Each structure stands twice: as C-alpha cells, then as structure tokens.
Chain A
Amino acid sequence: DSGVTQTPKHLITATGQRVTLRCSPRSGDLSVYWYQQSLDQGLQFLIQYYNGEERAKGNILERFSAQQFPDLHSELNLSSLELGDSALYFCASSPSLGTGGEKLFFGSGTQLSVL
C-alpha cells in the first residue's frame, strides 16, 4: 500500500460528459502529480501541484483542469469527454517539490472509460 488513495477506481461515462477524479496524497506529502496512461502507453505527465499551487504543467488538454485543496487532496476535472480520453489516470505524491532525490508514490489509479 503506497498510502496514496484514488477514487473512484472505475468510471464509465459518455462522450461530452464531465467527471472528477480525486486523489489523497500520502500523509505529509505536499506535491501531487497527475499522469495519464493509455492502453499500452507510457506515463504522460499532466500536471503537478505543490502545497496548493500549480508547480509544473505537462501535456494537459485545455478541457482538463486540476486543483489542490488546503487539506492537500487534489482533484482532476475532465470535461467534454471524448473517446480518446479513455485511459488509466494515476495520481502520485512526493514529500516536497520533487527535486533532490524524492521518489514518487503512486495510487492505484482510476480507470476511465468513455463510451
């Protein structure tokens, strides 16, 4: 158990809809990262939050947004969903900014299926 909690585990929705994925980092970790993993694909970095502020941005679509709340949990909002958004979405956390040798602890992921 990594200590990172993601909900829900599975999500099935239709095109055009909006969903929210939730992540609770390990106790004490200040950074939260979101990654997208499509079938047989690698881990595509979406966005990182550190202590409530956006720290780094990857290939995140404009239809996607995220935030980190004062209690450090994070939510990833996906809107106007398309079939191609179907993927496994991972959240990871690290103690601080992610530099200096920190490692990532991954949650079990949310499997999103857009029909």
Chain B
Amino acid sequence: GQQVMQIPQYQHVQEGEDFTTYCNSSTTLSNIQWYKQRPGGHPVFLIQLVKSGEVKKQKRLTFQFGEAKKNSSLHITATQTTDVGTYFCAGVNNYGQNFVFGPGTRLSVLP
C-alpha cells in the first residue's frame, strides 16, 4: 500500500532560524495536504497542493509539490515560538487510499 515518509523526525532550532521538513510518497499523489498539531492539540489543516511543481506561500511558510507529485516540502523562514508543533503531510491518491499521513516532524523552537 501507499507509504508516506517524512524527515527529519525531530528538529530543534533557535528562534529566527529557518526550518524545512520533507515528505515523500511511495506512489504518485493526486494532491498533498499539510497539517499542524500544536502540543496537546489536534491536527489542523494548513494547505493543499494539487499541481505538479506547485509552490504556495502563507506568510513565513512556503510549501512545494514536486514535479513527479511524489514529494513535498514545507519551509518556515525565521521561526517563531508559535511555530512549535508537529507538522504532518498527508497524501491523497485516487486509488481508495485517502489521507495517508506521514509520521510527522516535531519542531521545537528555542527562544
């Protein structure tokens, strides 16, 4: 079945540093979604990417979808303590396997 991997598993940064997490799927995706889970909270939808090579920005967050639609990345510029949490990617395909989540990247930001 479809597998979605993410690296790194953990990332500790100093406030103001940049952060990137990478997501790779074993199969070609219809689209990919990103979710953020704050400590003690539940996952919250951030964004969806659909087109090959698509790039979307949300303030300091930049999301990319690979040309082959099998990988994606999330880049945060100048991290803040409010960015702390676990970032999950979720692959959506057309073969009955919806929303297969990666294991997540836990981000810690030191003030």
Q: By the criterion CB–CB under 8 Å, are A104 and B100 in contact? A: no
Cα–Cα distance between A45 and B98 once the two chains are bound (Å): 10
- Chain A 46-89, CB within 8 Å of chain B: the 1/0 string? 00100000001000000000000000000000000000000000
- In the complex, which residues of chain B have a beta carbon less than 8 angstroms from the beta carbon of A48? 98
| CB within 8 Å for A98 and B101 given contacts A90-B42, A103-B48 | no
Within the complex, what minimum Cβ distance (angstroms) separates A17 from chain B?
25
Stretch at the interface among B56-64, B71-79, B89-97: B89-97
Q: Is the CB of B45 within 8 A of A33?
A: no
The interface bits of chain B over 1-32 (1 if a CB of A lies within 8 angstroms of the residue's CB, else 0) are 00000000000000000000000000000110
Measured CB to CB, the residues of B under 8 A from A are 30-31, 33, 35, 41-45, 48, 50, 88, 90, 92, 94, 96-104, 106
Q: Which 6 A-B pairs have the closest CB atoms?
A: A42-B103, A98-B98, A43-B101, A106-B42, A103-B45, A106-B43
